Structure 1
Amino acid sequence: MKLPLLAAAALAGPLAVAMASPVLAQDVTGLWQTQTNGGQVEIARCGNSLCGKLVNSDHIRADPGVKDAKNKDTALRDRPLKNMQMLYDFTGGPTKWTGGKVYNAADGGTYSGTITLTSANSLKLKGCIVAPFCKTETWTRIK
């Protein structure tokens, strides 16, 4: 009777690890393709939170020196869009981060945000002026 219990215990360990592995394997950091304007955003850890910078877009490909011309803060309108931080202060995990801010260069606005990792290669980014006035995009991981 002890042998089957030991065998069951031995199998439970790897099985438990295998069941947990998909969650552990899903890391939100990396390069992501946005849903609009051919954007590519690199999400990284910034201290205890997540942040993201715009590394490429249709506008950047057309003009690598394109500026943040629509920023509501006129002092920031001369900064380049390339490598500009557009996601910041997201906390939580391992599959949902909240409390962050999303900067939208298309209108110069900053919105409250949520990032939800829906699979290893897909996430949903939600930005809200004030709930329920929100927009959600699905981003795909670039391998």
Structure 2
Amino acid sequence: MRNIRSKVSPGVAALAALLVAPAWLASPALAAEPTGLWQTASRGGQVEIYRCGAALCGRLVSSEGLKADPNLKDTANSNAAQRGRALRNLTIMSGFSGGPKEWSGGSIYNAEDGKTYSGSITLDGDDTLKLRGCVVAPLCKTQTWTRLR
């Protein structure tokens, strides 16, 4: 059999390359962002991080305590008026700004002790997040969370 090749003029080939190149250049490996569902480092917690305006926020979706009692209340809150609010879907992170790998200026509410701490988030790869909470620097604690989705 005879080998049949289609002949494309050099001008058409160059035009095709120019049309494809911008799509290739515009789609570098996109940096992951921390929105999604994360497994916390303690008590089986799961936190959904989402965009709240220009900032990042997070809500408590599940934990060992919520699995045992889905109606668990915020009984440890330092503000007595808020001790009756439900922990399920409670916003526990708010006001984080920055990116693409680090966000700061936010606050983290710890339902275990009822206190709010200043915090920062660092994305360490696509599926690992370092959450740092501070009473006052240098009195800080860092947890590593793992992405669930």
Q: CA RMSD in A?
A: 2.0
1:47 pairs with 2:21: no
> Following superposition of structure 1 onto structure 2, how do residues 27-106 of structure 1 map, counting pairs within 5 Å?
27-106=33-112
Give the letter for the 2:90 counterpart: M
Q: Deviations 1:74-130 (Å, cap 9, x if unpaired)? A: 000000110000000001111110000000000001000000011111100000000
Distance 2:22 2:91 in 1: 42
Give the letter for the 2:115 counterpart: G
Give the structure-1-normalised TM-score: 0.86
More helix by share: 1
> Is the radius of gyration larger for structure 1 or structure 2?
2
User: Could you say what secondary structure the match of 1:127 adopts?
Assistant: strand
User: Could you say what secondary structure the match of 1:88 adopts?
Assistant: strand
5+ residue gaps, structure 1 = 1-5
5+ residue gaps, structure 2 = 1-13
CA shift at 1:48, angstroms?
Answer: 0.9
User: Could you say what secondary structure the match of 2:96 adopts?
Assistant: strand
CA shift at 1:17, angstroms?
Answer: 5.1
Distance 2:130 2:26 in 1: 27
Distance 1:14 1:140 in 2: 32
Give the structure-2-normalised TM-score: 0.82
Q: Indicate which of 12, 15, 29 corresponds to 1:21.
A: 29
* Identity %, equivalent residues: 52
User: Could you say what secondary structure the match of 2:124 adopts?
Assistant: strand
**Counterpart for residue 136 of structure 1:** 142
Give the letter for the 1:109 counterpart: K
CA shift at 1:14, angstroms?
Answer: 7.3
Distance 2:65 2:26 in 1: 44
